[in-house]
Structure 1
């Protein structure tokens, strides 16, 4: 059996930061993040990858993945709590709410594409075929969708702020005085 290639990515959900293993062989975003464009930059940036994987994590936590067989584990134990102190049904509901807010922020133009690529793990060629788009169109539209999603999550490639800020205090000790 071939070993799966995973990468650890830091994700923050509702103030809780955690490292998540991303299966780069499974995710279309992982594949795009490893590929370089003509300019030498990755086709999907780090912020875009984290945003897409965060959407997928909420989709999975919400229990929205399609099942191929019957689920006989329907007895949910409400006494079981996760790290945030939520029961399993509460955690699933919270994940659905986060997913809904993220897709609303992406807008109706991008929500379906984000669901297809990030959550249902469809490749770009399949998306283009299903939607009747010209070749290589999905890559451009996906980049725009992931940018909007990253902005919703507050993710950026670099921190930006003012060049200079007002000096608030300047204090120097006298000779022989320590800090």
Structure 2
């Protein structure tokens, strides 16, 4: 039996934060996130991993992966009694398709194909380079640029930044009565 390396990554989808289990042995992004370059830095940053896994989660929810078996979704019950409030399965799938489409539009034609291949179809970098006729080790650089653009689309960044100076606020207790009261 193959031992799996499962890690939990926190992802925000439609304003809801949830932990997503990532199989680090399955995902090319997980492999890249574990490896370090000569300078000791990771090949991809945690924010890039989160962006790529968020794209993959939406791709999976949208049901966009090619099917290898029959689609039995059509024969399931459509009775909504006892169902959780919110979107039904087809609405959730449609919303996920829209999110994938917006992410690919934000990534642009330069990066969208590569992001789909690596993040969604789980192709390795060597396979991508071979299919596209790229020189060795170029896919890693292009992928990092694409993941940066994807992270920016999702509103993710390495560090939180606020205004350079916050507005000063003061809270005071009201002084009433004689000496010592109200303190």
Determine if the TM-score, normalized by the shorter chain, exceeds 0.5. yes
Q: What stretches of structure 1 of length at least 5 have no aligned partner?
A: none
Q: Within 5 Å, which residues of 2 pair with 1:106-125?
A: 106-125=107-126
Partner of 1:141: 142
Inter-partner Cα distance in structure 2 for 1:134 and 1:44 = 19
Contact 1:79–1:87 (Cα < 8 Å) also in 2: no
Which of structures 1 and 2 has the bigger CA Rg? Answer: 2
Q: Secondary structure at the match of 1:148?
A: helix
Contact 1:76–1:88 (Cα < 8 Å) also in 2: no
What TM-score, normalized by structure 2, do the two folds share?
A: 0.89
CA shift, 1:164, in A, is: 2.0
Partner of 1:127: 128
Inter-partner Cα distance in structure 1 for 2:73 and 2:171 = 65
Q: What stretches of structure 2 of length at least 5 have no aligned partner?
A: none
Moved more, 81-90 or 131-140: 81-90
Q: Secondary structure at the match of 1:121?
A: coil
Q: Within 5 Å, which residues of 2 pair with 1:54-133?
A: 54-79=54-79, 85-133=86-134
What TM-score, normalized by structure 1, do the two folds share?
A: 0.90
Partner of 1:52: 52
CA shift, 1:16, in A, is: 1.2
Q: CA RMSD in A?
A: 2.0
Partner of 2:5: 5
CA shift, 1:71, in A, is: 2.5
Contact 1:82–1:88 (Cα < 8 Å) also in 2: no
Q: 4+ runs of 1 displaced by more than 4 Å? A: 80-84, 172-178
Change (3 A) 1:130 1:31: same
